[in-house]
Structure 1
Amino acid sequence: MSQVFILYSSEGCHLCEQALELCYGQLDPGKIKVVDIVDDDDLVALYGVHIPVLERLTDGQKLFWPFTAQQIGELI
């Protein structure tokens, strides 16, 4: 089964841009959904001080920034 991931981020977040580049190096871009947390109060409460956060949808496993390409590979 193919894994699908969410990258919780925010527009203009340079760390989120770095995280997305790392993700693109490890994952098929079509398997990554980028979610901007700014318009969702619940997501801001959960991830506001932690973004970027990468979540594997099959089981909810998350990587909180800072994470490495190796850690993404392990999550896959």
Structure 2
Amino acid sequence: MLIKFYSRVNCHLCEDGLLTLRLVQEDIPFTIEIIDIEQDDVLHEKYMLMIPVVEKEGQVVQYGNLDYATLMENLSMNH
């Protein structure tokens, strides 16, 4: 399973979110693709007010202040 993690440099919420996502990854096997929204104008415009954004199969799972319970529940479904 591939999980996309949209973030940008110098985003403390993104750093915290990635740590939370990695904790979930210890319990559920998946690959994290980290995408810097500042490298793509379309992604930057779409996600700049939402980051960090966790996406699974094209669907946003959670964004902003990520929490373990929500990520665990949404990423374990159909895994």
TM range (shorter): 0.7 to 0.9
In structure 2, the CA distance between the partners of 1:30 and 1:62, relative to structure 1 (3 Å rule), is closer
Equivalent position of 1:31 in the other structure = 31
- What TM-score do you get using the length of structure 1 for normalisation? 0.85
Q: Distance in 2 between matches of 1:11 and 1:30?
A: 23
**Structure 2: any 5+ residue segments left out of the alignment?**
none
**Structure 1: any 5+ residue segments left out of the alignment?**
none
Tell me if 1:5 matches 2:15: no
Q: How many residues align?
A: 73
Aligned Cα root-mean-square deviation (Å): 1.7
Equivalent position of 1:44 in the other structure = 44
**Secondary structure of 2:4's partner?**
strand
- What TM-score do you get using the length of structure 2 for normalisation? 0.82
Task: Output the amino acid matched with 2:53.
Answer: V
Q: Percent of aligned pairs with the same residue? A: 29
